[in-house]
Amino acid sequence: MPSWSRIPLLGRLDPFVVAILTAIAVAALLPAGGSTARAFSVATTVGVGVLFFLYGARLSPAEALAGLRDWRLQTSVAATTFVLFPLLALVLSVAVGSFLDDGLVAGLLFLGVLPSTVQSCVVFTSVARGNVPGAVVSATVSNLAGIAVTPLLAAVLLASSGAGTAGPDAGAVGRIVLQLLVPFLLGLVAGRWLGAWVRAHRRGFTLLDRGVIVAVVYTAFSRGVRAGVWEVVSAGEVAVVLGCCALLLAATLLATWWVPRVWGARRADRTTILFCGSNKSLATGLPMATVLFPPHVVGLVALPIILYHPLQITVCSMVSTRLARRGAAVV
């Protein structure tokens, strides 16, 4: 199991984060337009389809079935990801909505309904000596459910918050089916023949995954620059969004660590719930945002997701190394 060199992430910048920030900077200075923008749009659409095909192909049915037997663990992660986190995001969006552009409010709500990460959750759980098989299954099931659940929850929360003008348009469901669900299902079928090969070459496909995400970021922010949406976003609004991300992460970490004690969850399972419940998937969220939201607001919607990603990596790296040091003494 990869361990990111046992996690001392604070001593260096995550190359993926650097690549994303670089894409944003390049988009601000040299936004894609005309034929270049159309080429990037086609490339990212195809790339996202390939990603979801690979997500389906590398899913191991046997592993998933084994992990699903621990219903209490899986229910806890699902409830945190798709109930607790969205409710916290809704409360925060109502509290700060008057200070933010509708696109940023939509981004906070969309962050709340995203599925968990896979790689990060597994790595953090492994380092902290948690239930690694449970983390693999929880994160995988979360991503699978997110294809259907995330768009539905996003529509409901956006309507409830009054930020619906920046929400998914009428063709969003059809695009989700064609661009995300169909490739995923095809990958699931093809996994019978390709699954072992895809899982054996996980590192190479991770590079492809991240390359597509960086291209999605550049394309989305280029559209925002061309449409002039960033001219209305202030540094104060960015600070408010960052503060909201920090509050969401802190509240979720506290809840996922202490609430499972109510039913006497093992430390290993609490560790899995902690990381799988608090992490949100940039790799799933950004491609899905480009499908769900109108092009002129995708950059704004993406900002909370982009800010939350390095925050969760930094904080969870500290938490996982601390739990590893404390070991079985943690109760």
Domain ranges, ordered by start, for the chain: 14-320
| Residue range 22-50, pLDDT digits in tens | 888 898 888 888 888 888 888 888 887 88
pTM of the model: 0.78
Report d(CA 32, CA 44) in Å as an integer.
13
Nearest alpha carbon to residue 275 among 154, 131, 59, 153: 131
Query: pLDDT tens for residues 266-324?
Result: 888 999 999 999 999 887 888 888 888 887 788 888 889 988 988 888 888 888 888 88
pLDDT greater than 80 at residue 67: no
The answer for residues whose C-beta is within 8 angstroms of residue 267's C-beta and 6 or more apart is 130, 328, 330, 331
pLDDT band with cut points at 50, 70 and 90 for residue 95 = very high
Tokens (6 digits) for 27: 């988009």
| C-alpha to C-alpha distance for 16 and 304, rounded to whole angstroms | 16
Q: What CATH topology corresponds to 14-320?
A: Na+/H+ antiporter like fold (1.20.1530)
